């Protein structure tokens, strides 16, 4: 598995791993019950520390995205259920608010933002499995 990691990014490496694996699952490149690379293998290909990969896997498991079986490996969860986590939704709204503010100072209007959202949604596979009314 090949991920694009940016060591100079302000987002931690383990978090980049989490993000990109979630993206691969949405794109169905990783499918339910697929086996993920072992901690040692992935740390080898990504040239990062095994502990960093382990931290990413633990976070993914905490979110219910993957499951780990001792001695066997880690696998994409058979069924990923979207949780309407109220706190996360609040955080997301705050993030969007901040996004709109920054966009204003860059001369970007809301319509452009909406178009970008539409574009990325399409890239992730038009019919989104995890959205309720779908």
What SS3 state is found at 107? coil
Question: Are residues 76 and 25 in contact, defined by beta-carbon separation less than 8 angstroms?
Answer: yes
Task: Give the one residue of 49, 90, 104, 121 binding DNA; rule: CB under 7 A.
Answer: 49
CA-CA distance, 36 to 1, in Å (whole number)?
A: 8
Asked if 96 touches a copy of itself (CB under 8 A), the answer is yes
Cα separation, 15 vs 53, in Å, equals 10
92 vs 66: CA distance, rounded Å: 22
Q: Which residue, 72 or 132, is less far from a copy of itself as judged by CB?
A: 132
User: What residues between 104 and 133 interact with a copy of itself by CB under 8 A?
Assistant: 104-110, 113-114, 116-118, 120-121, 123-124, 128, 130-133
**Token pair listed for 81:** 């259920």
**Binding status of residue 20 toward DNA by CB under 7 A:** no
94, containing H or E segment: helix 86-105
State the nearest-atom distance from the C-beta of 132 to DNA, in Å. 29
Closest contact distance (angstroms) between CB of 80 and a copy of itself is 7
Residues forming the site for a copy of itself (CB under 8 A): 19, 22-23, 26, 63, 65, 80, 82-85, 88-89, 92-93, 95-110, 113-114, 116-118, 120-121, 123-124, 128, 130-134
């Amino acid at each position: 598995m090949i991920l694009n990691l940016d060591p100079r990014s302000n987002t931690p490496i383990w978090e980049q791993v989490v993000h990109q694996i979630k993206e691969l699952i949405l794109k169905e490149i990783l499918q339910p019950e697929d086996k993920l690379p072992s901690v040692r293998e992935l740390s080898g290909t990504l040239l990062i520390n095994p502990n960093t990969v382990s931290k990413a896997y633990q976070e993914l498991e905490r979110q219910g995205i993957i499951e780990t079986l001792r001695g066997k490996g880690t696998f994409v969860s058979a069924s990923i259920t979207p949780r309407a986590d109220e706190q996360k939704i609040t955080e997301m709204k705050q993030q969007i608010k901040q996004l709109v503010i920054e966009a204003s100072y860059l001369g970007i209007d809301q319509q452009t933002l909406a178009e970008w959202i539409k574009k990325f949604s399409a890239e992730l596979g038009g019919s989104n499995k995890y959205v309720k009314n779908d």
